[in-house]
Amino acid sequence: MEALDRLAALIERNTGTDGTHVTAIPRLSLVRSSRPTEPLHGLAEPSLCIVAQGRKMAMLGEGIYEYDRAKYLLVSADLPVVGHVTEASEERPYLCVRLALDCGMLSAIMLEMAEGARPLSPATPPGLMLTPVTAELVDAMARLVALLDAPRDIGMLAPLAEREILYRLLTGEQQAQARHIAIRDGRLAQINKAIGWIRRNFAEAFRIEAVAAEAGMSASSLHHHFRAVTAMSPLQYQKRIRLQEARRLIVAEGKDAAQAGFSVGYDSPSQFSREYARLFGAPPLRDASRLRADPEYGLVA
């Protein structure tokens, strides 16, 4: 697809080095990797990801999502995922553009389209979904990224290109998921309230009834819809957030394993070490050593 080739050239021109590059355009990031990566643990936020070159795999719970130039990834909630660039080289690096979703703008566009009057599908969509790319969506994204070469135009033209991208989501194959993201009082919004509560209180023990009350749901309904979105239970989600934060404390702030485990809510150092090794593949100190030896390992891409 010619539009994807143009997008790849734009990403390459505006990165040059491996890593995630925050741009001057609000909510827009560019990602480049010249080699396959190890599994990368991180928190994916509501966003649209389009791969212009290479291939990547994302894992959420037991689900595996592999995407490349043929499919884009739509994320509808804050999800602890494992990402893994599987196809990249010096000659043809992995190139990806990520646009964080402005839910307010998405809602406004949906109302302008009179889509807000239509009832939502009763099924809660999963938090990650793959969809075939379209020339119209990629063309709009390429025009947004191209504004990086014309900084004076960003303030005026970037919102127009972003609106078109969101419009394409609302009229494309995943319009049902896009509408769930936009509706502020729907099931997905309730699950996002529960997710926000867990993220703010992850170091504390919680009763499922308290999380359900925050979301405005019954405990049984919360369990059902939370798993549909995140592929895990609220307790499993809390554990994943705890361990990712502990890893950050050990690597970035130099805390030892006992300090990090206690800081995120573990009373037992041995339980913390076991669960840490089960998730990250090595005990805390060994994992921290390999992270420091290879800065790209463990970073979101």
Distance CA 296, CA 71 (A): 25
Distance CA 71, CA 186 (A): 27
State the pLDDT at residue 242. Answer: 96
**3-state class of 173 per DSSP?**
coil
Instruction: Let me know how long the chain is.
Output: 301
Q: Fold for domain 2-182? A: Jelly Rolls (2.60.120)
Token look-up 């023990």 returns: 205
Phi, psi of 126 (to 5 degrees): -65, 155
Q: What sections of the chain are H helices per DSSP?
A: 2-13, 103-112, 135-146, 154-171, 175-182, 187-200, 208-215, 219-230, 234-252, 257-263, 269-280, 284-293
Cβ within 8 Å of residue 107, ≥6 positions away? 116, 182, 183, 184
State the pLDDT at residue 121. Answer: 65
Distance CA 251, CA 287 (A): 9
Strand order, beta sheet including 63-67 = 40-44, 79-87, 55-60, 63-67
Distance CA 246, CA 248 (A): 5
Distance CA 223, CA 232 (A): 9
State the pLDDT at residue 118. Answer: 60
* Alpha carbon 137 to its chain's center: 19
State the pLDDT at residue 299. Answer: 41
- Exposed (0-12), middle (13-18) or buried (19+): which is 271, by Cβ within 10 Å? exposed
Domain boundaries, the chain: 2-182, 187-232, 244-293
List of the chain residues with pLDDT < 50:
297-301
